[in-house]
Amino acid sequence: MTDTESPHKRVWRLAGPLIISNISIPILGAVDTAVVGHLPGPQYIGAVAVGTMIFTALYAGTSFLRMATVGLSAQAYGSDDGSEMRAVLARAFLFGLGIGLAIIVLQVPLAHIGFYLMGAGPDVEPLAREYFFIRVWAAPAALTNIAIIGWLIGAHNTRASLAMYLLMNGLNAALDLWFVIGLGWGVAGVAWATFIAQYATLVLGLVIAMRMLRGMNGTWDREKLLNKQAFTRLAAINRDIFLRSMFLQGAIFAFTSIGARLGTVVLAANAILIVFQYVMSAAIDGFSHTSSALVGDAIGTRSRERFSEAVRITTWWSFGCAALFSVIFITTGPFFIDIMTSVPDVRAAARDFLPWMVITPLAGFLSYQLDGFFIGATRAADMRNAMLVSVLIYTLALAVLVPPFGNHGLWLSFIVLLLARAATLYLRFPKIERSIGN
């Protein structure tokens, strides 16, 4: 940060590229669907949807590759330890590479389990398998890209992480059009587009990282890189974040499952509103990731003043973003509902439940921010325990609220989950501040 750069400008310098990066992800999903949607038959859309869902499940727990790396690299960056920056990058890269290679080795049993659970029809499964067995070879690149992006965020180079996302998603979309529409490769073309885009992005990420490291102090220290204690710490952080992510995925699965039992109309209405939730959380996560980088930096420099400043400013901007989305949902929600569906019953149901979407940004922004603080401080065990308690509270809320209130009770339970996440982390928050010097 330069002497003339204000704290607010610093936050937006980091958060702006992250918000754009996050929003680019669902846009690519829309392109994939639109491209195969022009093929002769619904089985092509179904095949890509099934294949994508299996990879989503495989990668669901690997968010630790980004989260842990953000915290560790931000702390090394704050302490101006170039050798540790190199070691953090190398360790995270090796973790991602190892998991990706394991997925390749186990691809046959993983495919068997995935397609068994998905239960795709005979017209969809062969196409989905073709997609899976091409895209699976991109697993090492996909997971090491996650690690590199986390390292770049920790090093305060969110513009570089944006460049990786733009290349990954832009090249993927362009190749989708060429391979599927131009060359007629069908579902295989979508898979090859992802494969090429992932490895091209990996090359870009490595080039950026190496150029950054040339400008830092320190050296490649083999002993430091292979330090057993450092690997043990990284493994423990990754384990705890993985468990935390699995608890959260279970809560989301329960929400979808219970909504499905309430009827097809309710399920469809919730699916539309969840899109609103996803876009909102993608934007607010930009400030959460920024807070991770700034908090980790403050801990690395042992500066309580910088820590407090990072917490205060990112939280205020996160609140402002949440309030903006609440206003957007209350004023334009019905318009976007009508764009997303023409079925009268679904439109009416989505409007009935829209007020919950007005509440969720304000109820949830603090839980996202606290996640960012704890990631920056690498307090993964606290995150794991807080999420477990929150999911237990959420489960109790589901049992109490859904039977008498139906889908309104389901959404109220979701609000309870968001508030419980914030409360359980907030109770542990003072430990982080006490651990930092004056």
Residue 351 C-alpha from the chain's centroid: 28
Could you give the CA distance from residue 15 to residue 171 in angstroms, rounded to a whole number?
A: 23
* Phi, psi angles (nearest 5°) of residue 268: -65, -40
pLDDT, one tens digit per residue, over 277-304 is 878 888 888 888 889 888 888 888 888 8
Contacts of 242 (CB under 8 A, 6+ apart): 61, 62, 64
Structure tokens belonging to residue 7: 């704290």
The average pLDDT across 129-134 equals 92
Residue 128's pLDDT is what?
A: 85
Burial label for 36, CB within 10 Å (0-12, 13-18, 19+), is buried
Q: Enter the DSSP assignment of 179.
A: I
Triad 292, 294, 297: Cα angle to 5°: 105
Q: Is pLDDT of 123 > 90?
A: no
Residue 303's pLDDT is 85
DSSP 317: H
Higher pLDDT, 105 or 123: 105
Task: Please give the residue that has the higher pLDDT: either 150 or 339.
Answer: 150
DSSP state of 332: H
DSSP 184: -
Q: Which residue did the predictor score with more confidence, 343 or 85?
A: 85
| Mean pLDDT value of segment 321-349 | 87
SS3 123: coil
24 CB neighbour count, 10 Å cutoff: 17
Residue with tokens 């929150």: 390
Q: Would the pLDDT of 33 be above 70? A: no
Between CA 423 and CA 121 the distance in angstroms is 44
Which of 46-55, 162-171, 255-264, 318-327 shows the lowest mean pLDDT across its residues? 46-55
- Kindly tell me the burial class for residue 201, based on how many C-beta atoms sit within 10 Å of its own C-beta (0-12, 13-18, 19 or more): buried
28 confidence band (pLDDT: 50, 70, 90): low
Mean pLDDT score, 87-97 = 91
Give the Cα separation of 115 and 216 in Å (integer).
Answer: 47
User: Is the Cβ–Cβ distance between 76 and 85 less than 8 Å?
Assistant: yes
Residues 399-419 have pLDDT tens digits of 999 999 999 999 999 999 999
Residue type, 370: L
Give the residue among 23, 53, 33, 24 at the shortest CA–CA distance from 176: 33
- Whether the model clears a pTM of 0.85, i.e. scores above it, the answer is no
Identify the residue whose tokens are 């080795």: 105
Rounded CA gap, 273 and 46, in Å? 22
Q: Per the structure block, which two tokens stand in for 233?
A: 């710490």
Tokens read off for 262? 């309430």
Q: Which residue has the tokens 């996440």?
A: 421
pLDDT digits (tens, 9 = 90+) for 373-394: 998 888 989 999 999 999 999 9
Question: Tokens 């204690």 — which residue?
Answer: 229
User: What mean pLDDT do residues 307-324 have?
Assistant: 92
Phi-psi region of 218 (alpha: psi -120 to 50; beta: other; left: phi over 0): left
Give the Cα separation of 401 and 56 in Å (integer): 30
